[in-house]
Amino acid sequence: MYDKVAAVRLGQQFKKVYDKKLVSVQETYQLTRVDLDILIFLNNHNNMDRAKDIVKCRMIAKSAVSKAIDELIQRGYITSHMDDHDRRTTHLTVTEKAKDVVLATERVQEEICQVLYHGITKEEREMLNRIATKISDNIEKEL
C-alpha cells in the first residue's frame, strides 16, 4: 500500500514544486500555466503542432487549449497556418517573440531537475527513466 501512496504523493509533490517555480515566469510574461505548457510543447515537438496533439499529449481540456491558443496568437507568441493538403488541419508555430518565455521556462525546468536529481547517480537516473517509461507505457495502454 505504501508504494501506491508514495507514487501518488511523489507526483503531487512534483506538481507543487513545478507550479511554484513557474509562477515567476507566469507573472513576468502575464501568461497562464496552460499558455506555458502549450509554448513549451510546441517548441519541443516540431512534428506535433496541432491543438489536437496538445490535448492528447498534455491531457489538457480541449476548451482550455482552444482558448489559450487564441490568446497566444493574439499576443503574437504563436502563429497558425492551414495544412497544404488538408484545410481542416491547422498547424501552430512558436514565434520569435516567444523565445524569451521558452528560455525562461526551460531554465525553471533545469533548476527543478537539479533539485530532483541531487545526490542521484547517472546510473540511478537511467534506471529511473527506464522504469518511468514502462509505467508511462502501461498508463497509456489504459487510456
Q: What is the pLDDT of residues 75-104, one digit of tens each?
A: 999 999 998 898 889 999 999 999 999 999
| Whether pLDDT at 4 is above 80 | no
Over the stretch 23-76, which tens digit does the pLDDT of each residue have?
999 999 999 999 999 999 999 998 999 999 999 999 999 999 999 999 999 999
Q: Which of 20, 27, 80, 21 is nearest to 54 (CA)?
A: 80
Q: Output the average pLDDT for the chain.
A: 92
More confident residue, 62 or 116: 62
In this structure, the chain runs to a length of 143
Is the sign of the CA dihedral 87, 46, 134, 20 positive or negative?
negative
Structure pTM? Answer: 0.84
